[in-house]
Structures are given as structure tokens and as C-alpha cells.
Amino acid sequence: MERTTRQKTAIQAAIESAQRPLSAQEILEQASLQVTQLGIATVYRNLKSLVLEEKVHVVTLPGENPRYESNTAANHHHHHFQCTTCQRVFDVHDCPGDLKRMAPQGFVVERHELTLYGRCADCNAAAGAAVPAAVTTAHACASGHDPA
């Protein structure tokens, strides 16, 4: 029932060799290098399988199309950072932890997803050092949500 096909192999390889979460289109482009004539439908069908098999994890950022990343390569719990300038997504291998107390009475927290937004190192440098160091250590919630 679970067959090994050139397509599935190429798709899985594309995801695993990527250093970042890839969109379905990006996976198609990458895997097409191995398997010409590869169709987008096949990519979606295999992505669905891989997610069910828990070999691949879906990264769904607000307002963005789903991205897919290897579950084996990034096995541990992590979050994401999206640069508001270049739109790239980075893994953040840190976690605030201890979020269970945030839930209202009677609610049980099983897991959580966190996305940070801001300026990545590259865009930050490119923009000229306009950001004072003090901001880096300021309280996260003090300024609330300020769209970039």
C-alpha cells in the first residue's frame, strides 16, 4: 500500500535538504530537478501522506500559504520568526515554555504555536543601525502589536 516512487522520494528529499520551510510550489520546483514532468497534484498528494505519516510538519503562518518542513531534521519543539521586511521564515529553537497557566480556568493546554515578527539580522543591518539596543531587552507586550 505504501509504495516507493521516484516522485515521493524526490519530494521528501527536497523537503529534507531544505534549510527552511518550503511552499508547495518551491517543493515542486526543487523536486522537478529530479523528476521531470512532476505534477503539482502529486506534490500535494504526497505532502498529505507525509504529514499523515508525521515525516513532515506544516508551518502555517498568518496570511501565508502553508510551508512544509522535515520532521526528522527539526524533531524538537521550535517556533518561527518571520521577517517583516524580506518575508523569510526562520526557525527559532527557543520556547517561552510554561504557557499552561495562560489558559482560562478549566482549559487544558496541550500544545502551542508561536510566531515572532520583526527584522532579521540581514534586513536589520541593511536598514542602517536605526534600532537602539534598549529595544531588544524591552518587554514584549509593552508595545503591543505594531504592524510593520
Partner DNA sequence: CTACGTGCAAAAAGTTTGCAATCGC
Partner DNA sequence: GCGATTGCAAACTTTTTGCACGTAG
Using CB under 8 A as the binding rule, whether residue 44 contacts its own copies is answered as no
Distance CA 90, CA 26 (A): 16
Establish if 9 lies at the interface with its own copies (CB under 8 A): no
Binders in 29-88 for DNA, by CB under 7 A:
35, 37-42, 44-46, 48, 65-66
Q: How far is the C-alpha of 64 from the C-alpha of 20, rounded, in Å?
A: 15
* Nearest of 98, 21, 86 to residue 60 by alpha carbon: 21
Q: Which does 45 bind (CB under 5 to 8 A by kind): its own copies, DNA, none?
A: DNA
Closest contact distance (angstroms) between CB of 97 and its own copies is 4
- Cα 133 from Cα 124, distance rounded (Å): 12
Q: Which of 5, 72, 84, 87 binds its own copies (CB under 8 A)?
A: 84
Eight-state DSSP code of residue 100 = G
The interface region with its own copies, picked from 6-14, 18-26, 39-47, 140-148 by CB under 8 A, is 140-148
Distance of closest approach, residue 22 Cβ to its own copies, in angstroms: 16
49-87 burial: b if 16+ Cβ within 10 Å, else e: ebeeeeebbebebeeeeebbbbbeeeeeeebbbbbeeee
What is d(CA 117, CA 80) in angstroms, rounded to the nearest whole number? 9
Asked if 129 is part of the footprint of its own copies (rule: CB under 8 A), the reply reads: no
Instruction: List contacts with its own copies (CB under 8 A).
Output: 58, 60, 62-63, 66, 76-77, 79, 81, 84, 90, 92, 94-121, 124-125, 131, 135-148
